[in-house]
């Protein structure tokens, strides 16, 4: 945990400025800001990409007890009480939306362990993630990261299976795969566009299985 009061004050001031920018932004701009924050947290080694997870926080050794239920999740992450977070693509988006929109408590972050059920049920998430991203977009993002093995696997059209497999075969490393997805969102002004993913068209899933198309 950060012990320097001056250093912590500077970090919290920076977070507050980002919050103000986020609130003034349009929804497409907010989606870009969230994706950029995911990329920044990966670079800083604060996020660990892990298929099968939602958003699973790891707390610093300095914490002797879990925070109060109404403690700000954003502040816990900023002061490194939450040292790292293991995330899937949606978990990364949820955490970064929390970093930019201080409306999520410790208890609500813990509830993100069941993020798929919340999204599927149309629940309004505390940080507004599913108000700035459509459900269709979130399903696509999750499916491309999880290689159709995730929560929404039954909702992806069969015609997309080959492309999803190609993407996962080209980027077997979850960290790289998460970065490619987030870069795609940034490059397309806040929209995830699978057709623009850097996937070789020369290799089809069937050829990988030794079959001709």
pLDDT of 49 strictly over 80: yes
- Could you report how far apart the first and last alpha carbons of the chain are, in Å? 55
Q: Say whether pLDDT at 211 is over 50.
A: no
Comparing CA positions, the residue from 177, 172, 174, 148 lying closest to residue 162 is 148
C-beta contacts of 106-109 below 8 A and 24+ residues apart: 106/66, 106/67, 106/68, 106/69, 106/70, 106/71, 106/72, 106/73, 106/76, 107/69, 107/70, 108/73, 109/55, 109/57, 109/73, 109/76
Q: Residue 176 pLDDT more than 90?
A: yes
Q: Looking at 10-14, 28-32, 93-97, which range is the least confident one?
A: 10-14
Mean local confidence (pLDDT), 175-185: 97
- pLDDT for 2 equals 47
pLDDT confidence tier of residue 201, bands split at 50, 70 and 90: low
For range 120-144, the mean pLDDT: 90
Assess whether pLDDT exceeds 80 at residue 29.
yes
158-174 average pLDDT score = 87
- In this prediction, residue 200 carries a pLDDT of 67
Give CA–CA dist 58/204, Å, rounded: 39
**pLDDT beyond 90 at 35:** yes
Domain boundaries, the chain: 5-208
Q: pLDDT tens digit string along 181-197?
A: 999 999 999 999 999 99
pLDDT for the residue 207: 47
Kindly state the DSSP code that residue 20 receives in the 8-state scheme.
H
pLDDT band at 212 (very low <50, low <70, confident <90, very high): very low
Q: Residue 193 carries which DSSP code?
A: -
Token reading at 27: 């929804």
Mean pLDDT along residues 51-68: 80
Average pLDDT (128-148) is: 91
pTM, two decimal places: 0.85
């Amino acid at each position: 945990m950060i012990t320097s009061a001056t250093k912590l004050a500077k970090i919290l001031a920076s977070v507050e400025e980002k919050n103000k920018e986020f609130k003034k932004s349009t929804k497409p701009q907010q989606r870009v800001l969230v994706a950029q924050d995911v990329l920044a947290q990966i670079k800083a080694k604060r996020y660990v990409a892990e298929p099968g997870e939602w958003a699973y926080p790891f707390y610093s050794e300095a914490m002797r007890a879990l925070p109060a239920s109404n403690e700000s999740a954003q502040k816990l992450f900023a002061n490194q009480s939450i040292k790292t977070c293991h995330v899937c693509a949606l978990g990364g988006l949820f955490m970064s939306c929390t970093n930019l929109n201080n409306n999520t408590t410790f208890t609500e972050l813990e509830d993100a362990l069941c993020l798929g059920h919340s999204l599927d049920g149309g629940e309004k998430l505390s940080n507004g993630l599913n108000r700035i991203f459509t459900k269709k977009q979130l399903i696509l993002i999750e499916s491309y990261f999880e290689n159709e093995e995730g929560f929404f696997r039954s909702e992806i059209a069969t015609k997309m299976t080959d492309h999803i497999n190609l993407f996962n075969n080209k980027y077997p490393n979850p960290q790289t795969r998460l970065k490619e997805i987030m870069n795609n969102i940034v490059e397309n002004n806040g929209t995830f566009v699978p057709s623009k993913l850097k996937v070789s068209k020369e290799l089809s899933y069937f050829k990988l299985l030794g079959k001709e198309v």
